[in-house]
Amino acid sequence: MIWLIGMELRKRWESLKWPGLALLLVLSGLVLLAVLLAPDDFAELPSRASGTVAIMAMVSVIVTVMGYYPYVDAAWRFANDFRGRHAPLEFGSAVPTWKKLVAKLIASVTLYLIVIYATGFLMVLPGVLLNDRAAIFALRSPLVAQAAATVLVTYLAVSIYLSLVNRTRWAGIVAVLVGVSPVFLFDMAWFLYYLDLGGMPWYFDETTRWVITGAAAAVGFIGSLVLLDHQADI
C-alpha cells in the first residue's frame, strides 16, 4: 500500500513539476510586483492608481487555477490510468481495486494539501513582509472557479464513463455518482445548514454539517468500491 501511494505521488510529481514550477514562478513574480507597487503600509485597499488591482486580478486567477489543479490532475489521472495507454499495467495487476483507488485518493488529497499550502504561503508572504492586510490576496476568481468546476465535473464524469463502458454495465451509474458527488456533497453541506424539520429550523453547527457530509462521502466511496470490486468486477 505504501509503495502504491509512493507510485501515485511519483506520477503526480512527474506530471506536475514543470507546469507547477512555471505557475509558481509567475505567481511569485506577480506577488513580488504587487508588494513593490502596493501602498507603503498596505493600510488601505489597493487602488487603481497603484496598479495593484490588475495584478491582483491576475493573481486571483492563477490562485484559482492552482487550487483546481489537484482536481484536474485527479480526473486526468483516472482517465489516463484506466482508459489510456497505462491501463494494461494498472488493470492487469492483481492488486485489489480498492487498494489502487485508495492510493489514488490519498495521493490526490496530499497533492491538494501541498498546493493549498504552497499558494497560501505565497499569499501571506506580502503580509509577513508588510502587514496582515495582505490577506486580501487570497481572493479567488469566482467566474474562473465556477467555469472550472463545471468543466471538471463534466470531464470527470465523461472520463469515468469512457473508462468503464467496455468493462461494466454500471458505467453510466458510476460515472454520474462519482462525477457529480463533489457538487452534491457540497450542496448537501449547505442544505443541512438550512434544514427545517416540522416548521422548526434546525441549524447544525459547522462541525456537525461537515461530519455528516464526510460520512456521506465515505459511504459513497466505499459503496463505489464494493460496486466496482465485486459486482462490476472492474
Partner 1 sequence: MTTLSIQMLRKRYGTKEALRGVTFSVEPGRVVGILGPNGSGKTTLLKLIAGLLTPTDGEVIVDGGTGRGRLHENVAYLPDAPSLYPWASVAGSAEQHRRLFADFDPGAFEDMRASLGLEPSAKVGSLSKGGVEQLGLALTLSRRALITVLDEPLLGVDMHARGELLHGIVRGLRPDAIVLITSHLISDLEPLLDDVIMLRDGEIVLSGDAEELRAKYGLTVENIYRQELAS
d(CA 78, CA 161): 11
In the shown chain, the binding pattern of residues 162 to 201 toward partner 1, with x for contact by CB under 8 A and - for none, equals ----xxx---------------------------------
Angle ∠(214,218,224) on CA atoms, nearest 5: 145
87 lines the binding site for partner 1 (CB under 8 A): yes
Coil/strand/helix, residue 197: strand
d(CA 209, CA 48): 40
CB of 104 to partner 1, least distance (A): 14
Reference 78, options 93, 90, 96; nearest CA is 90
Question: Which residue among 85, 197, 199, 205 contacts partner 1 (CB under 8 A)?
Answer: 85
2 lines the binding site for partner 1 (CB under 8 A): no
Choice between 80 and 224, CB closer to partner 1: 80
Looking at residue 157, its amino acid is A
Question: Which residue among 25, 26, 57, 93 contacts partner 1 (CB under 8 A)?
Answer: 93
Phi, psi of 46 (to 5 degrees): -60, 145
Q: Which stretch binds partner 1 (CB under 8 A): 2-10, 24-32, 71-79, 183-191?
A: 2-10
What residues numbered 119-148 form the site for partner 1, per CB under 8 A? none
| Cβ contact 7:86 at 8 Å | no
Angle ∠(122,125,129) on CA atoms, nearest 5: 160
CB of 180 to partner 1, least distance (A): 24
88 lines the binding site for partner 1 (CB under 8 A): yes
Cell of 82: 484506466
Binding-site size, partner 1 (CB under 8 A): 21
List residues near partner 1 by CB under 8 A.
Answer: 3-4, 7, 10-11, 14, 85-89, 91-95, 166-168, 233-234
